[in-house]
Amino acid sequence: MAMLLSRIQAQNEVWLRKMGKATRFRGVIFPVNPTALPTSVFVLPRLGLRTRSKEPVAARDLFRDPARRVMLVGDWELPLAGDDVISRCFVLFQMNRRVSWQRREETRHPVTNLPVATGSLVEKGPIWVSIESYTRGDNDAGLRVVTDRLRCITGSPIAVGDVVDGKTVKRINPALGVYIAEIE
C-alpha cells in the first residue's frame, strides 16, 4: 500500500522553490475539501501541499506555485498510511499582497525600567499577507450594528499593536504554524 501511494505521489510532483532562497522541494498541490478545515481559518480557496517526508519545507515558508501565486505554508498533518510516514501534508494560504509592517520602538520606563512601546513607528517589512474581509457579527447586541472586520494571515512574527498595511493589529491567533490577526 505504502509503495503504491509513494509511486502515485511521485508521478504528480512538481519542483517548487522557496522565495528568497535557493532551496527547492518537491510537492503536490491539491484542493482541500471545504469542510476539512474550519471556515474561520481562511476565506480564499483551500489548497493543500503534500511532500515527501524528508523535503525541506516547514510552516511559514513562502514559495510560488506553478501559477506564480505566492503561497504561505501552514502546518496540517494528515496521516496517509497509518504509521508508515511516506509524506507530509501542509495547508497553503494564498498571499494576496505585499504590504508595509511597522512596530513602535520600545523605550524604557524611567521609574520601572520596563520596556514601553511609546516610540515612533519603525518599518520592519515589507511582508507578504493575505488580508481578507469577514463579518464578525453584531458588535452591540442592543444596536445590532454589524461590523466588517479584516483578517490578516502572515508568516511574519507580527504582534498586537503593530501596524500592517496602515491598520493596527488588535488580536492574534497563532494557528497552523502561522499568524492569523484581526486588524482595524
Asked which of 73, 94, 115 is the last residue of a domain, the reply is 94
Query: Same domain for 85 and 151?
Result: no
- Expressed as residue numbers, the domain containing 116 is 97-183
| Cβ atoms < 10 Å from Cβ of 134 | 14
Query: Same domain for 106 and 178?
Result: yes
Residue with cell 454589524: 146
Number of domains in the chain: 2
Tens of pLDDT along 85-137? 678 889 999 999 999 999 988 778 888 888 777 778 899 989 999 998 876 55
Asked which of 67, 94, 121 is the last residue of a domain, the reply is 94
Query: Same domain for 75 and 152?
Result: no
Per-residue pLDDT of the chain (184 residues; tens, 9 = 90+): 455 555 566 667 888 999 988 899 999 998 877 665 555 545 566 789 999 888 999 999 999 999 899 999 999 876 555 566 678 889 999 999 999 999 988 778 888 888 777 778 899 989 999 998 876 554 556 666 666 678 999 999 999 999 999 999 999 998 899 999 999 8
Quote the CA–CA distance of 71 and 49 in Å, as a whole number: 10
Strands 167-175 and 163-164: antiparallel
Quote the CA–CA distance of 73 and 121 in Å, as a whole number: 29
Query: Same domain for 38 and 60?
Result: yes
Asked which of 94, 126, 157 is the last residue of a domain, the reply is 94
